[in-house]
Amino acid sequence: MRGSTRLVNRRVRHDRVIASESAPRRGRIGAGGDSVKVRAFRDAAEEAANRGRGSSGPRRLSGALSRWCARGVILLARSMVRTFASLVVLLTSAVGALGCSPSCDTSDEANAAIVYEGGTAVNGFYFSTSAHGPLLEFPGGKRYDLYHHLGFEPILVQLYWSLKDAGIGGDVQTDDKSTLSPAAGNSALIQLKNDYFIRVKNDSCVEYWLLVVAAGDPRAMDGGASGGTDGGALMPLQLQPPE
C-alpha cells in the first residue's frame, strides 16, 4: 500500500515538473522567449530607423538646395558689384566729358602759354584765323599768347567757339562745317592784353576750337590827335578779314 502511494506521488511530481517546463514562463512569448517589453522596444527602434531612412532623401535634397541657393546669392552679389563698378566708371566719364567736374589740370603751372604769331592784322583788326578754318585747337587748360601785330593795345577782344576746327561755311553749310558762337565763362578767359600780344585761356575741361578777333586803336579815341592811323573811326567787327 505504501509502495503504491509513493509511486503515485512520484508520478504526480513528475507530471508537475513536465507541465512547468513545457508551460510558457510569465512574461515570455514565442520560441525565442523574447520579453514583451524588449520586443516593444525593438519594434519602436526599428520604426524610428525606418523613418530615418525614409527621410534621408528629402534631407539630402534640402541640403543640396540650400547650398545651390547660397551659391546663387554669392554669384548674384558679385555680378551686382561688377555692374555697379562699371556704372560708376561710365558715369564718371560722362560727367567729365560734359564738363560738370574737373577731369584735367587747368593750372597755369601745368599749361605754359603757347606763342602764336599767325593770323591776320588789317585795317586795325586782328583775326587769329579765318572764320572758315582751320581754327585754333582749344582744349582744357590751353593758353595762347596771340601776337596781333596791330602796333597798339586793342580795346576790344572777342573770343568765338566752334565744335569743329573747320569753322563755318561760306555760301553753303556743309557737313564738315559747324557754327561759331561768342565764348563765355571760364572757358574763354583773357589773362593779358598789351601792344604785342593777347593771352587767352580755357580754364575748363571742355574742348573747343577758337577764333579770336581784336580791334580798336585807343589813339583813335581822340580823333587822331595822338597820331592814330585809323582816322579816328572804329570799323564794325566781322568774323572774316576784309579782302
Break the chain into its structural domains and give their ranges: 64-101, 114-222
Distance of alpha carbon 154 from alpha carbon 99, whole angstroms: 31
Residue 189 φ/ψ region, left for φ over 0, alpha for ψ in the -120 to 50 degree band, beta for the rest: beta
Tell me: the pLDDT tens digits for 202-239?
999 999 999 999 999 988 766 554 444 443 333 444 44
- Whether the pLDDT of residue 52 is over 90: the answer is no
Query: pLDDT band at 77, cuts 50/70/90?
Result: confident
Distance of alpha carbon 195 from alpha carbon 4, whole angstroms: 169
| Least trusted range by pLDDT, from 79-83, 141-145, 181-185 | 79-83
R_g of the chain, CA atoms, integer Å: 54
Tell me: the pLDDT tens digits for 96-147?
555 444 578 999 999 999 999 999 999 999 999 999 999 999 999 999 999 9
Residue 109: alpha-carbon gap to chain centroid: 31
- Whether the pLDDT of residue 181 is over 50: the answer is yes
In CATH, 114-222 is 1.10.20? no
What pLDDT does 228 receive? 43
Query: pLDDT band at 43, cuts 50/70/90?
Result: confident
Q: What is the mean pLDDT of residues 147-162?
A: 95
What pLDDT does 219 receive? 81
- Whether the pLDDT of residue 45 is over 80: the answer is no
Q: What is the mean pLDDT of residues 150-179?
A: 92
Cβ 187 vs Cβ 181: under 8 Å: no
| Least trusted range by pLDDT, from 27-31, 169-173, 218-222 | 27-31
